[in-house]
């Protein structure tokens, strides 16, 4: 069983009726809903307003993969909790950061670059699969069309990814490394660009399949967490 915690800021859906209309159950509720249908996944949710943002030591110890969506409260997010999440990723917890979570404290801490990019509201996107043999691309066609999406464009200031599984094209001509994997310590990270809150992107079956694949890819191998250590080793005998 892979234990998944779906974290969402859960601010826009409560503030704006048109966003609540897209995700009445919240983005976390939508994602937990389709992941919860999978036999091998145990899913819980957490949101910003919970104590310690719902990401206590106890919750993180019981999380194999954290899915993270954030946008308006990046600066308000607790430094202490961000560091705690980083430590868990380094010891093997998987992390799937979605859409504007590229700019979260957690991602900046783990990846170390500015994470800046270009953006424009109200575009459409074609997601091309640029690593078809990657586990996150399993069952995904060579191109997915997202009828409405916010444009995210290059240059995207990330460290060189392990793999660029998906590359986005937008009608303005921009391209973007939309699905990238990274390794930090023992932890596997997937960043996935689609999912602007105004559009029902997480209701698209192919997008859901990518997130399901990402959970299984980012889960620690054999379900095992390993603490990183720094120690002097004496030669035996
Ligand atoms: Zn957005």
Separation of 196 CA from ligand 1 center, angstroms? 4
Distance CA 146, CA 201 (A): 7
Minimal CA–CA distance to 124: which of 165, 169, 164? 169
pLDDT digits (tens, 9 = 90+) for 19-39: 999 999 999 999 999 999 999
Separation of 151 CA from ligand 1 center, angstroms? 8
Tell me the domains of the chain and their CATH numbers: 2-113+178-236 (3.40.50.880)
pLDDT digits (tens, 9 = 90+) for 186-231: 999 999 999 999 999 999 999 999 999 999 999 998 877 887 888 8
Separation of 111 CA from ligand 1 center, angstroms? 20
pLDDT digits (tens, 9 = 90+) for 85-97: 999 999 999 999 9
Separation of 197 CA from ligand 1 center, angstroms? 6
């Amino acid at each position: 069983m892979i234990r998944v915690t779906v974290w969402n800021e859960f601010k826009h859906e409560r503030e704006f009726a048109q966003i609540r209309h897209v995700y009445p159950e919240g983005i976390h509720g939508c994602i937990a809903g389709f992941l919860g249908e999978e036999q091998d996944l145990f899913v819980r949710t957490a949101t910003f307003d919970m104590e310690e943002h719902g990401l206590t030591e106890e919750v993180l110890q019981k999380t194999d993969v954290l899915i993270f969506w954030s946008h308006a409260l990046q600066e308000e997010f607790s430094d202490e909790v961000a560091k705690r999440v980083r430590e868990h990723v380094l010891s093997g917890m998987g992390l799937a950061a979605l859409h504007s979570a590229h700019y979260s404290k957690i991602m900046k801490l783990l990846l170390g670059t500015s994470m800046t990019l270009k953006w424009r509201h109200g575009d459409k996107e074609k997601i091309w699969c640029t690593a078809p043999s990657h586990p996150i691309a399993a069952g995904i066609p060579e191109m997915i069309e997202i009828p409405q999406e916010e444009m995210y464009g290059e240059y995207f200031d990330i460290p060189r990814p392990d793999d660029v599984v998906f590359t986005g094209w937008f009608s303005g001509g921009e391209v973007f490394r939309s699905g990238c994997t990274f390794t930090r310590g023992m932890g596997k990270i997937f960043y996935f660009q689609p999912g602007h809150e105004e559009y029902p992107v997480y209701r698209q079956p192919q997008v859901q399949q990518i997130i399901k694949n990402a959970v299984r890819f980012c889960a620690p191998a054999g379900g095992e967490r390993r603490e990183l250590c720094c120690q002097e080793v004496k030669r035996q005998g």
